[in-house]
A = this chain, B = another copy of it.
Amino acid sequence: MKKNFLYLTRPGIDTHQEPVVYMREDCHVCHSEGFGAQGRVEVCTARGSIIATLNIVTGNLLSHEKAGLSEAAWRLLGAQENDKAFFRHAPPVDSMSVVRGKLYGKPITPEGAQGIITDICQGRYSDIQMAAYITACVANNLNLTETIAITRAMVNVGQRFDWGEGRIVVDKHCVGGLPGYRTTPIVVAIAAANGLVMPKTSSRAITSPAGTADTMETLTHVRLGFEQMRKVVEQEGACLAWGGSVSLSPTDDIIIRVERALDLDSEGQLVASVISKKVAAGSTHVLIDIPIGATAKVRSTSQAETLADLLRKTGEALGLTINVLFSDGSQPVGRGIGPALEAADLLAVLRNQPGAPADLRARSLTLAAALLEMGGLGDADKCRQLAQQTLESGAAWRKFEAICQAQGGLRELPVAAFTHEIVADRSGVIAMINNRVISRLASLAGAPGSPAAGVYLRVSVGDVVEAGDALMTLHAEAAGELEYALDFYQTHSDVVHIEAEVV
């Protein structure tokens, strides 16, 4: 009988999250096991085993004794060049029966939820199985019990911080942020300057031109490991880390990527994502901000109330105190949209610079005050004053600097090589700025991949403009990206809607 193993190699193919194994068409293992393209195969080495999707190689990419692994598979297995690997048909993923049950209307039990999340965490779901899970959650929306079960399961598969018995640990989260709405670093600085513990992790952009982690990365090092994050928080009371590097809710990134590709949102899954990360961060009191607006993610008060209720009840089931604030989601906040442009706005607010965006400042103070109140620092009036003082005295800026220093130093902001000013084609009043279209424009200009790229707004709703006045400036790091954004603008010039003034 022929030997049933191959030696692993790393052809250097990045398939993002789905583990892929590459095997020759004429390979003896494929033949004896009866493997076919896109089959699910278990790859076992002395280091452990993973499930991967099979791609069949018909040319000479691989030598006869080798099987290749994609980057994701290589990482997941912790493989080394020439590891000896055995292969077999992947056993059926048990928890897919829970997904199928959900599709036919059967609720997900706590055990079922743990099965799904553990299997996702261990890379046992193929991308299409992930898609089926997400679609099932959208079609037969998760109820409260199921949402709580999924949340617990997501916490269970990751690491979790413990900041000490009885200690108040605060956090904030914004559901469906607006372009430029980068309050988090300001709120964290004010809270920490007042002695609160705030171990903040943020995400990168999913579909938007910048996430808080992208913006913070233009200013400091955000890829903190678990112990590094603990050290920063113990020293400064707070941090501004990228959640992906801390692995607090490791299934979250996997789920979000497929949701994004499908452009599908399950409310229950969204709540589980948010709450699981807060619990894992060791938070006790969480302020949630939901902007409402025609072109925001949440479009109506009733939609916001349903979401708030689910967030509150799920949080409470996991031992958190949750406060929810509704805010104005009718237009972008601040001037800059894109990592470095947003960083410049928040620096201006923290440094009390003249010309700092007043809307960003006011909204950051509102959120900071609410958080100070949750942290037990006094009533609403007192906390409002406290937040303002902390900002105006420079204490918030000093705390922000100290956090950045603890994370590895404060950086100079990158500047875009290419800019282009877009002007008003007529006179009138700015009646509307479309959040979705402006985000797309900043993305096409290269944000967040190119950190200096994005849109710098020169107007707000209600401003009066003359034909020829600047509406916004596009920033790009590459000429091609600038051109791409401009092309898009040609067909979407109503992104800033100007109405003729009635005299």
Binding site for B on A (CB under 8 A): 1-2, 4, 10-18, 22, 25, 31-34, 36-38, 40, 55-61, 70-71, 92, 96, 100, 103-104, 126-132, 134-136, 138-140, 257-258, 261-264, 443-444, 446, 449-450, 478-481, 483-484
Contact = CB atoms under 8 A, between A and B. Distances in A.
Nearest to A59: B12
A16 B37 contact: yes
20 contacts: A1-B479, A12-B60, A13-B22, A13-B58, A13-B59, A13-B61, A14-B25, A14-B58, A15-B37, A15-B38, A16-B38, A32-B479, A33-B480, A34-B446, A36-B449, A38-B261, A103-B139, A127-B131, A128-B258, A135-B136
Contact of A135 (B17, B22, B132): B132
Contacts of A11: 57, 59, 61
A264 B483 CA distance: 44
A135 B131 contact: yes
A127 B129 contact: no
Given A11-B61, A36-B449, A135-B103, A261 B56 contact: no
Contacts of A4: 480
B14 A478 contact: no
Given A15-B38, A103-B139, A135-B139, 10 more contacts: A10-B59, A12-B57, A12-B59, A12-B60, A34-B449, A58-B71, A96-B262, A126-B261, A127-B131, A128-B261
A100 B264 contact: yes
A32 B15 CA distance: 20
A41 to B, nearest CB: 13
Q: Which of A10, A70, A480 has the most CB of B within 10 A?
A: A480
Given A25-B14, A135-B139, A136-B139, A262 B129 contact: yes
What's the dominant secondary structure at chain A's contact region? Answer: mixed
A44 to B, nearest CB: 15
Given A33-B484, A257-B38, A58 B132 contact: no
A266 to B, nearest CB: 10
B480 A1 contact: yes
A169 B33 CA distance: 42
A243 B16 CA distance: 35
A12 B82 CA distance: 22
Assembly of this chain: how many copies? Answer: 2
Contacts of A12: 57-61
A69 to B, nearest CB: 12
A220 B233 CA distance: 73
Contacts of A127: 127-128, 131
Q: Which of A37, A135, A446 has the most CB of B within 10 A?
A: A135
Given A11-B59, A55-B13, A449-B36, A31 B478 contact: yes
Contacts of A18: 38
A479 B3 CA distance: 11
A199 B128 CA distance: 35
A206 B359 CA distance: 59
Given A56-B13, A132-B135, A478 B263 contact: no
B257 A32 contact: no
A269 to B, nearest CB: 13
Contact of A263 (B22, B100, B479): B100
Contact of A138 (B59, B103, B449, B450): B103
Contacts of A483: 1
B132 A34 contact: no
A184 to B, nearest CB: 24
A59 B443 CA distance: 28
A264 B99 CA distance: 10
A113 to B, nearest CB: 18
A34 B257 CA distance: 17
Contacts of A14: 25, 37, 55-58
Nearest to A487: B88
Nearest to A97: B263
A444 B10 CA distance: 30
Contacts of A17: 38
Contacts of A55: 13-15, 70
A98 to B, nearest CB: 13
A60 B126 CA distance: 27
A261 B36 CA distance: 12
